[in-house]
Chain A
């Protein structure tokens, strides 16, 4: 039984003069839900297409269960894909779409029928076998695409923004179902997305990509709460990124100066010194009245309040000129967050993270998170 472990070593793809993927190292464990997250053009889809076999790497290895498959054609890889627009064959009905791969393997008719029914049951589409793809809703098409790939029992399932074409409500519902399905079948899922919420809510681990490189690999809480680079902090949600100066450290804490105020920062690169960047998530900030005398406060003025239902996003302009965003639970009291009101932003030391300044690319060291999980890659089959 294949375990579905994928190791990428120095994976590189160059299109003409453009470096799409720049030496990626990563280990994707068998049975893991692994997301490649990044903005468009970061190389995540190219990486996926190389694992599928549609693109040939310029350099590097793709080791699938101990065998380098970098130059194996796509139809001979035990890796299947769910495409962004599903690519269901429009001239075949649901049954024939799902049976397509089984028939290529020359399985007996009964076996094909049995496994197609099984796969359709798995994605809860029994009874729709005779429909054509265009007679199905977007969500149903997506399930057919899943069934068509899963029926072949791949070692690894690749998903290229499979929820992108659906509307918001179905997308949220399928997110839960997709994760449940992955746990049920126990297959390695490699999921490409630019939607951080999708990646965080479903993945066991996330690789945040930027400009063809992996910035950080980690569990969703790790990448969200312990971003290794400025890019990761900024890409995953609102980070309130600010320039600051580290003016002294000790006992795992660091004093940073923002304008004329000095704050205690409790996490990140607390040994740093000189120009740094600091980040703090909006939901970890508190808004206090202007008179409050607690430490680690930044005074400011409410510039704008955005009502989003369950919470309010309050944008506070600081005397330094920077704006900071705080997310406040909706308690029904709007008076405090009225535009122009002077407030204090309390930044708990444990929520204030120091990131050494400098280009994001230089800070990241993709080899470190990769080797952390690398196991001796003996042939396991």
Chain B
């Protein structure tokens, strides 16, 4: 037995307990990096920390809408006082709150009903437009998506208030201008969603319909629209969510207290000392409606998209009411 031989082997073997302290320190990080099949604990931890950081303040704000006291920072017990039970100061009873709620929903509904059909038509037009200018139009259609909202808002304010020519002069600040402003920026989203669906559908179904004797309108109604339905419903809900939580454009296009929306109300009252947890309840409503809008849009887009392609039509037909007969 030669001592040197064993010593050499021990040095080569990772498990060798040759000076425990320095070895462990040297190995900790490389071991993590050397084994790509292990659980990426550090990355998972970072992710959860961020999620908590981002969501906790919102969660706390939502929680305080159920506070039984007036405070928005000291927990005094659970109650539905600020949601419903307080007959004059709860979010569904105080006229200032209910008015903001109703006006927000009004704007969202109008935006949805105007931007969606317009966006579908634009998407169809862009898909059919070949040749000079179509490429540029496709690119420019994305510009509203990346324009800083404040720039769009200020520009719209200037043209609506300063330009005395039709059509700008016809639009006055207030609900009308708010709808026009919201439609202006939400249209692009509809176009992007519907276009991508159109591209995946391809021209063949429409050509097949035309080939079988359908007029262009009939082909659109009986074939293209049913196939586009998931995209149309999804974009409606996205527009709804965009409208509900828009602040900048809606604020600039507003006229007076009667055109206050939820985000505007929150902005105006958040720092005030007199506000109650009812404000938190209002914020909660905003968060929940937005989340529901986007969540349902996602579900419709994926589920109906899949159904349409696997051919399980009944749900799609029920939703559309587009019976072929």
Contact = CB atoms under 8 A, between A and B. Distances in A.
A185 interface: no
A100 B308 contact: no
B1 interface: no
A132 B313 contact: yes
B310 A134 contact: yes
Nearest to A73: B210
Contacts of A133: 311
A73 B219 CA distance: 13
Interface stretch (A77-85, A161-169, A302-310, A366-374): A77-85
B311 A75 contact: no
Contacts, number: 84
4 nearest interchain CB pairs? A132-B311, A101-B212, A87-B208, A104-B213
Interface in B288-310: 308-310
Given A90-B227, A92-B313, A83 B207 contact: yes
A80 B310 contact: no
Nearest to A84: B204
A106 B303 CA distance: 34
Given A90-B311, A134-B311, A135-B311, A85 B204 contact: yes
A148 B209 CA distance: 11
A93 B218 contact: no
A74 B227 contact: no
A54 interface: yes
Interface residues of B, number: 28
Contacts of B211: 52-54, 74-75, 80-81, 149
B44 interface: no
A75 B207 CA distance: 9
A89 B214 CA distance: 13
A80 B212 contact: yes
B317 to A, nearest CB: 7
Contacts of B309: 90, 134
Contact of A54 (B205, B207, B312): B207
A53 B325 CA distance: 25
Nearest to B229: A91
A88 B211 CA distance: 12
A100 B310 contact: no
A152 interface: yes
B311 A148 contact: no
Given A75-B215, A83-B208, 18 more contacts: A53-B210, A74-B210, A80-B212, A81-B208, A85-B204, A87-B204, A89-B208, A90-B227, A91-B223, A91-B317, A92-B324, A93-B311, A93-B313, A100-B209, A100-B212, A100-B222, A101-B212, A132-B310
Nearest to B312: A132
A284 interface: no
A87 B313 CA distance: 16
A148 B212 contact: yes
Nearest to B223: A89
A105 interface: yes
